[in-house]
Structure 1
Amino acid sequence: MENGALLPEVKIAYKTYGRLNAKKDNAVLICHALTGNAHVCGTTERPGWWDGLVGPEKWLDTDEYFVICSNVLGGCNGSTGPASIPPGEDRPYGLRFPTVTIRDMVRAQKALLDQLGIQHLRCVLGGSMGGMQVLEWGILYPDFMDCLIPMATAARFTPMAIAYNHVAREAIMSDPAWQGGDYYPGPGPTKGLAIARAIGMISYRTAELFEERFGRRLQQTDPPQRELDFHSTYAVESYLRYQGEKLVRRFDANSYLYLLKAMDTHDICRDRGSLAEVLSAIEAEVLIIGVEEDLLYEVSHLRNLYQMLKSLYKKAKMLTFSSPFGHDAFLVETDLIGPIVRQVLKQGV
């Protein structure tokens, strides 16, 4: 691993969609965000997290492309992480698990592709933490793909984004049930994780969307609430509580902490040189997608990245759009990003 640690055993959970063609030139790697997993697309009963973009006859058509997505190293959806039990032991790693970086995640994905016999990718794409992985793919393995599509992300994690993560971390680690990360096999810091998720949801959306969806309405109850009662709950509060409780049912708190740290340490220039020096290694075509209202990854930073690529005579294009969904627009506004993704896959940048 990047910090010099050695894991005795690593498992990477993955899913594939579609079929690899005879030429083996239709493979596409999708990198997921913080709480994502390998289940990119699914069914009505069990939808995937990017169903609007990926699937049969969708913008990224799995009848045409062989799509691969793996759960990141450090995650909790089948891949080795802090909730995993080391070989020969009887308790999970907890905080004994080594710090994971975005580069570690990408190297683990490359090892998976080697095992699958994938020698080249048509494209690597993803948003948010997934977009960080996309950029690292282009730097670590510059001739392994034809194009890169980083969305709603950055070349370096900003102080403001680190600040959001800090508050989320404090919520988890201040929960007495966290027990210094050694809470297994118990439920762990469910209250802290739920609050951390609520903090995240605030940063993922916009004031405009909250105003439109919730306004100042009270949550509907029977009997109806009175606004001036101390325990009255606004609809937006109920929404945030619901999102927190939903995540707690499927995510490990320690994994959440480790992945937040991986995002905090993300900086493609770390221990490498200037931005120009680092980007000069990229050989693939690049399509950058940004959201004007993104609170976490400002479009101005992505424009700087785009302009630097162009100054280095790289083949690059940038698409920005406006959406009340803010940062989460890359997941939601698939009819806006889908056409250009399809175009780049077919024709290039």
Structure 2
Amino acid sequence: MFSIRAPALLLSVLLLLPFLLQAATNDPVPTEGDFIFRNVQFRSGETLPEVRMHYITFGEPRRDANGLVRNAILILHGTTGSSAQFLRPEFANELYGKGQPFDVSKYYLVILDNIGHGKSSKPSDGLRGKFPRYGYRDMVELQYRLLTEGLNVNHLRLVFGTSMGGMHTWLWGQTYPDFMDALMPMASLPTQISGRNRAWRRVIIDSIRLAPDWNGGNYEQQPHGLRIYAEMSWFMGLNPILRQREAPTLAQVDEALERAVAARLTTADANDILYAFEASHDYDPGPGLEKIKAPLLAINSADDLINPPELRILEEEIKRVKNGRAIVLPLSEETAGHGSHTKAVLWKKELVRFLKKTERKRIPTERKY
């Protein structure tokens, strides 16, 4: 006999279904939030009355007897990226599970959207060309403030960053040298941006800023120069072998490029892109490399067009880091050019060794909030 309780029971099951599926798969669930900074002044001298920083976290912070958080890991994304890139299977499925390197039952992961990116404050929110000019050092300072003021994190087990996040990691090591146990910059170099890396960025900047329809950032529709950003990103992102395999004929190259460009232009905003690329203007960690105290493991790949190994910059500059070590992954069927930085299977074993080497004798189990 059909009971009137059945619809209510069915509704309850439907509401609980996402949680039941989550429990069945044992996938870690992130916590999402925003922190608001008031009256923020940038190194340019410009100010904002309010800056929103978006973040996601996994796990819970654990403190030692002295009140220091001992299990927090800060994960930093690249230029035009966001925290979402670290939820993709090639990264999250390799690192976040039980017994994996960033096991969320052991560690407290903090993954943020930098200013100008993702769900954090950015030009496209409304200020457009009047948004303050920010630099990498402004970004690192806001990361630090989010941890200390927003999340009450006073120490990091590890700072891990990819591409721009890797560059931020080098800055973290010298700006806050006693704040972390270890540093792991990926797909980056500890030197001022120059050579081809600066040139392709300058092409993107000029294609937007010099476009007649950019109009000082007050455009009615996305300026045509934004297309060059999308094309250059496709060109620089992967290695030539993968591109040739993806598109071995003239027609296939054109088709692949059009697909990639169309995908990027669906969500990209010219002001956001312009500001993100111009932000690297103050990146120059070279003079401060000797200030880095924490053990540092830098990993690049041999097929990275943005950080070409032929220059041997990483191998030479790492000598100035007291506890530094550098690895350049050789070209293989698995490497993906600059994008190797989020393909965790390529470097997971090195991460495991590095975490073990830098681990303290005792990980506290008491949880305090």
TM-score tier, shorter chain, comes to 0.7 to 0.9
The alpha carbon displacement at 1:133 in A equals: 0.6
Cα deviations across residues 185-218 of structure 1 (Å, max 9, x unaligned)? x5423x43233122122112222222222211x6
Q: Measure, in 2, the Cα distance between the counterparts of 1:257 and 1:54.
A: 32
Q: Is the 8 A contact 1:15 1:39 kept in 2?
A: no
Q: Measure, in 1, the Cα distance between the counterparts of 2:151 and 2:291.
A: 26
Q: Measure, in 2, the Cα distance between the counterparts of 1:265 and 1:295.
A: 22
Residue 76 of structure 2 corresponds to residue 31 of structure 1: yes
Residue 57 of structure 2 corresponds to residue 16 of structure 1: yes
Residue 291 of structure 2 corresponds to residue 286 of structure 1: no
Q: Counterpart in 1 of 2:139? A: 105
Q: Measure, in 1, the Cα distance between the counterparts of 2:59 and 2:138.
A: 27
Q: Counterpart in 1 of 2:277? A: 260
User: Which 4+ stretches in 1 moved above 4 angstroms?
Assistant: 174-177
> 5 Å matches for 1:223-234?
234=251
Q: Counterpart in 2 of 1:165? A: 201
Q: Counterpart in 1 of 2:108? A: 66
Q: Measure, in 2, the Cα distance between the counterparts of 1:297 and 1:41.
A: 21
1:322 partner letter: P
What is the RMSD computed on CA atoms of the aligned residues?
Answer: 2.1
Q: Is the 8 A contact 2:186 2:299 kept in 1?
A: yes
The alpha carbon displacement at 1:22 in A equals: 4.4
Q: Measure, in 2, the Cα distance between the counterparts of 1:60 and 1:279.
A: 27
Q: Measure, in 2, the Cα distance between the counterparts of 1:70 and 1:246.
A: 23
Gaps of 5+ in 1: 85-91, 219-233, 270-274
* Among 307, 316, 338, the residue aligned to 1:297: 307
Gaps of 5+ in 2: 1-41, 360-369
* Among 153, 158, 167, the residue aligned to 2:188: 153
Residue 329 of structure 2 corresponds to residue 321 of structure 1: yes
Residue 216 of structure 2 corresponds to residue 208 of structure 1: no
The alpha carbon displacement at 1:175 in A equals: 4.9
Work out which of the two has the higher radius of gyration on C-alpha atoms and give 1 or 2: 2
Q: Counterpart in 2 of 1:132? A: 167
Aligned residue for 2:267, secondary structure, equals coil
Q: Measure, in 2, the Cα distance between the counterparts of 1:175 and 1:48.
A: 38
Q: Measure, in 2, the Cα distance between the counterparts of 1:83 and 1:68.
A: 25
> 5 Å matches for 1:230-241?
234-241=251-258
Q: Counterpart in 2 of 1:246? A: 263
Say how many residue pairs are matched: 306
Q: Counterpart in 2 of 1:89? A: none
The alpha carbon displacement at 1:103 in A equals: 0.6
Q: Counterpart in 1 of 2:97? A: 56
Q: Measure, in 1, the Cα distance between the counterparts of 2:93 and 2:247.
A: 24
Q: Counterpart in 2 of 1:229? A: none
